[in-house]
A and B are shown apart, each in its own frame.
Chain A
Amino acid sequence: MKRELKTTMHCLFCTALFLFFLTGNSQAGIDGITGTTFALTVKTGRVNTPDGASLLLWGYANGNDPAQYPGPTLIVNQGETITITLSNELTVTGTGPAPNVSMVFPGHQATSSLSNPGVPGILANEARPGDSVTYTFTATHPGTYLYYSGTDPALQVEMGLLGAIIVRPSDGSSYAYNHPDTQFDREYLFLLSEMDPRIHEVVELDGAEGLAATDYLSNPFPVVWFINGRNAPDTLDQPGTGSLPNQPYNSAPLVHPGERLLMRVIGGGKDLHPFHHHGNHARIIARDGRLLESIPGAGPDLSHEVYTIQSVPGETVDAIFQWTGKGLNWDIYGTPEAGPQFVHDCTDGDADDYDDTTYEYCPDHGKKFPVILPDNLDLAFGGFYSGSPYFGNLGSLPPGEGGLNPFGGYAFMWHSHTEKELTNFDIFPGGLMTMLVIVPQGAPIP
């Protein structure tokens, strides 16, 4: 049984990735909504998980759109005054009223407006059922932030009320902060969270009051883990896919060698999720939307490299990741011994050790692949294997094998290093996991 499930999961995973490459419609950068005035609505929806479950969602929606998990990513510019009107259209099981809802903005000095103040709550002013509240804050500092419900957050964050905020610096949208060392070529969001289905079931069947008879809120036991509101392998499916109507965001990072990939990592849930990024170290440049700098203006001079980002609930981390193959000690673009098609130069005009076009690491140029590959008859294949160990090359494969890696890229798993979180309700693989694919220069990245 377990083996069958594993096989099924594997196929799902392959199918998702196949669609992702076939359609070329993966999420470009970070999907979200822009502007200075937002109208968000809290309503119910469903979170579909790959183990076959469908969990009740309380989600933020963009106006009249469906509720979504996570809520809309708000992309704003430094210095702007942001106004958010939150409407409460939540409906609940049972005879009692729907709860109040709210938003808090850690790192921002938010206030509720005098004209639509809502009602006071513990952490923020709240919108009563059928009513609304308007919040205002100034995006004084660039960086990665989050928002979530400040109303009974132990319950409402669990139910899905959380989302990301990105503040673009005045230096421009290719910078994370106002310093040259924070420039990036591509950026991806990794909003990490978890759910305990028992809580969602009680709220759906009995209403939130039913939780009082349990210890689920004080001692949650999550069994599904998310990146950007999806579990693997759905993380790799297209954004906005019809099978996940309330989970519009995916997590499918693609990058060329040498490019600077900005990882925006947010701890959205209640647990720490050590986010382990295979392929290379990443340099942490900021936490909680503040550069790691010794004095203002110094730039990220206190930055440091890690291979597992410590993601803390409610905190954010910005990190720069680069991959070139440096240090592998063999020529990933192939050597003439492997065939005439691999003859190539490594031209380092600017003396940075890298080819000026392909970003090949020139000190490894011409070094032979150090392994004698077994015959195809002696191999089992994964969907990512291109049939060749060489970067950007497609080799021959038995019928029906491979096919998920049309550009001959290298795939690296990015995942929670709390390994039990690589499952969907105890079924491996899944959960808080996606694949970074390094693709050759020239391969399209949407």
Chain B
Amino acid sequence: MNRMTILSTKGAGLLLFSIFFLTPMVSLGVALTAIENEWNPPNGAPAVKMWGFIRDRGFCPPDPALWSPGQAQRGSVGGNFSITLRNCLSEPVSLIIPGLESTLAPQTFVDSKGRTRVRAFTKEVPADNGATVVTYTWKNLRAGTYLIQSGSHPAKQVHMGLYAALVVGMHGDADNEAVLLFSEIDPALHAGAEAATPLNYKPKYFLINGKSGIPGYPAPATFGGKPEQTLHLRFLNAGLMTHVPTLQGPYMQIFAEDGNPYPYPREQYSVLLPAGKTIDALWRPATHKFYPLYDRRLSMTTNGRAGGGMAHRLEVPGFPWYLYVPAIMHQKQ
């Protein structure tokens, strides 16, 4: 029996989080820029126009790097977290984090019939080629895993690629952590200059951490901790479809959902992950190897072909494990 279970049986579910998510209460912040860039499908199909977050360089970079989901950010339990955003897109953009507390200032517009309608959940950064920045702040963070995403025309902008993970604290029993961000791309919604509608959403590419498997090749890998050490798995779904992340063989202890701890962890080999959901789980790999992780809704396809898609591997390296750095530590441009 682990410490977590003992505590839970005493009905101390809330206490559990405050005790085991031990990080100093500090306020953290980051400066990001929303830019237009491209993603190259794994099958040689034409590049797909994307919108993404990159680290702010103080101006709109003329030649942005290829798209990936925004860098996972870290907040501290009980502290504040802020993002200062610059906008290099062709339309206003804003930021929300469902489940965390912030002061919202909804933005409205008047439609063709004279009705006042909401365009954005909160204050926007205007489309002024990066001239101005806006700082968004979330207060009194709760431990857990959260999705940073656009709060402006989200049906379009989130799908265009404006999403990233925010992790707050880490489970007290965990030695390592891994972020697994699920999303999809329907190229048809990215092709035109007009606002695309997801009404006829038919994604062709299925991504974990921004990567689709390639038919006939080993699946992409994410650092999966070390043998006999406990890994904190953080699942997020930034897509529009339900996925079922499945670990082939071992069981996980699912202990939180949307940043809310369960009274008792649930022992399962798979996780129901609807759109917008976050799930936290623990897993202790027994040995060093690649552990397959995939979507049991079988979005394991690539542009219509069987294979690839949401096929992934958790890499539990043997010696020298210290050469591997968790993805969250990378500060990729």
Hey, which chain A residues are within 8 Å of B301, CB to CB?
154, 217-218
**Contact residues in B for A109 (Cβ distance below 8 Å):** 249-250
Classify the secondary structure of A's interface with B.
Answer: loop
Given contacts A152-B307, A313-B297, A215 and B249 within 8 Å (CB-CB): no
Distance of A89 from chain B, by nearest CB (Å): 20
Known interface pairs A211-B305, A214-B304, A216-B304; A294-B8 also in contact (CB < 8 Å): yes
A356 CA to B269 CA in the complex, in Å?
42
Instruction: Tell me the bound Cα distance from A308 to B167 in angstroms.
Output: 34
Instruction: Tell whether, in the assembled complex, residue A314 and residue B270 are in contact, meaning their CB atoms are under 8 Å apart.
Output: yes
Provide the B181-219 mask, 1 if CB < 8 A to any CB of A, else 0. Answer: 000000000000000000000111010000001000011
A310 CB to nearest B CB, Å: 8
Contact call B202/A219, Cβ cutoff below 8 A: yes
Are A315 and B244 within 8 A (Cβ)?
yes
Task: Kindly specify which of B113-121, B153-161, B230-238, B260-268 makes contact with the partner chain.
Answer: B260-268
B15 interface residue (CB < 8 Å to A)? no
Digit string of A302-324 for contact with B (CB within 8 Å is 1, else 0)? Answer: 10000000101111000000000
Given A122-B292, A287-B268, A153:B298 Cβ within 8 A: yes
Contact residue among A122, A215, A217, A288 (Cβ-Cβ distance under 8 Å from B218): A122
Q: For residue B309, which residues in chain A have a CB less than 8 angstroms away from its CB?
A: 154, 218
| In the assembled complex, B31 has its CB within 8 A of some CB on chain A | no
- Contacts known (A122-B218, A287-B268); A154 close to B298, Cβ less than 8 A: yes
Q: Mark interface residues in A151-166 (1 if CB within 8 Å of B CB, else 0).
A: 0111111100000000
The CA of A178 and the CA of B242, in the complex, are separated in Å by 34
> What residues of chain B lie closer than 8 Å to A315, measured between beta carbons?
244, 268, 270, 272, 296
Give complex CA distance A123, B204 in Å.
Answer: 21
B221 to chain A, nearest CB (A): 12
Which of B5, B249, B272, B306 is the one whose CB lies under 8 Å from A108?
Answer: B249
B-side contacts of A326, CB under 8 Å: none
**Contact A122 B219, beta carbon cutoff 8 Å:** yes
Query: What size tier do the contact residues of chain A reach?
Result: 35 or more
A306 CB, nearest partner CB in chain B, Å: 15
**A208: B residues at CB distance < 8 A:** 306
Q: Is the CB of B249 within 8 A of A106?
A: yes
* Contact (Cβ within 8 A) A215 B298: no
Tell me the minimal C-beta distance from B81 to chain A in angstroms.
32
Q: A295 contacts the other chain (Cβ, under 8 Å)?
A: yes
Q: B294 interface residue, CB < 8 Å from A?
A: yes
B322 to chain A, nearest CB (A): 27
Closest A residue to B219 using CB positions? A122
Is the pair B298, A106 in contact by a Cβ cutoff of 8 Å?
no
Partner of B299, one of A154, A155, A212, A312: A154
CB A283 to nearest CB in B, in angstroms, measures 16
Chain B residues whose CB sits within 8 angstroms of the CB of A110 once the complex forms? 249
Whether the Cβ atoms of B202 and A295 lie closer than 8 Å is no
B267 touches A157 (CB 8 A): no
| Contact, CB under 8 Å: B303 / A218 | yes
Top 9 A-B residue pairs of the complex, sorted by shortest distance between their CB atoms: A314-B296, A152-B306, A155-B306, A290-B267, A154-B298, A288-B268, A217-B301, A219-B202, A218-B301
Instruction: List 20 contacting pairs A-B, 8 Å CB cutoff, sorted by A.
Output: A106-B269, A107-B249, A123-B292, A211-B306, A218-B204, A218-B206, A219-B203, A287-B266, A287-B268, A288-B251, A288-B268, A288-B269, A292-B266, A294-B264, A295-B1, A295-B5, A302-B264, A312-B296, A314-B244, A314-B270
Given contacts A211-B304, A315-B244, 17 further A-B pairs with CB under 8 A are: A106-B249, A107-B269, A122-B218, A122-B292, A122-B311, A123-B248, A153-B298, A157-B298, A211-B305, A217-B305, A218-B203, A219-B203, A288-B269, A290-B251, A302-B264, A310-B272, A314-B270
